[in-house]
Amino acid sequence: MDSYRRDTIGFIFQSFNLISYLNVLDNILISLKMTTLSEKERHARAVELTKQVGLYDHRKKTPSQLSGGQKQRVAIARALASDPEIILADEPTGALDSQNTKEVLALLSKIAKSGKTVIVVTHSQEVADFGTRIIRLADGKIIGDERLKDSYPIEKKSHIQSKVLSRSEIFKTAFKHFTHTHGN
């Protein structure tokens, strides 16, 4: 299941889940460590993603220097990093104002039009209406299924292959996080 998730699904969270001491570029790069891309290819991919989400000029800023909409665009770029087939977004606009909501929805729509499956979990009718299909759930059961417009064509499978992080890479990353959050 882990390899399927790693290879197929990119996650976008309402609370962004960015690493506070890493800049925009490094927040994207960290997810690319789980790919077989070379360091040079990972860097080029991360830079390209900052451009795609409109944050190239902010790539050296940390999350505390960004607006909520900018943080969500970093989270979107990170979800796209390994070129997954499916993007799963949990309330991606829940913490955003109306202008940033429109910008994030436009970006998610662009991603869907590029051939990716974008699944958005939301309580907002405005957000739901932005999709091509609305499936309503209650108590874990489907209570409605409405097609708003034709689906976008699906693109071919990703060319980026994932890999499991080595134990040393996991420990190094955890140690960096621990020392940053608990002092030196």
Q: Are strands 141-147 and 133-138 parallel, antiparallel or unpaired?
A: antiparallel
- Percentage of residues in the chain with pLDDT exceeding 90? 71
Helix and strand element counts for the chain (H, E):
7, 5
Q: How many CB atoms lie within 10 A of CB 110?
A: 13
Pick the CATH number of 2-182 from 3.40.50.1820, 3.30.750.200, 3.40.50.300, 3.40.50.970: 3.40.50.300
Q: What is the pLDDT of residue 72?
A: 96
Question: For 81-120, where are the alpha helices, taking DSSP H only?
Answer: 98-113
**How high does pLDDT run on average in the chain?**
90
66 vs 161 pLDDT, higher one: 66
Q: Is pLDDT at 172 greater than 90 in this prediction? A: no
What pLDDT was estimated at residue 173? 77
| pTM of the shown model | 0.83
What residue spans define the domains of the chain? Answer: 2-182
pLDDT digits (tens, 9 = 90+) for 72-130: 999 999 999 999 999 999 999 998 999 999 999 999 999 999 989 999 999 999 999 99
Single-letter residue type at 79: A
Q: Which of 65, 25, 60 is nearest to 45 (CA)?
A: 25
Side chain identity at residue 167, one-letter code: R
For residues 53-68, give the mean pLDDT.
Answer: 97
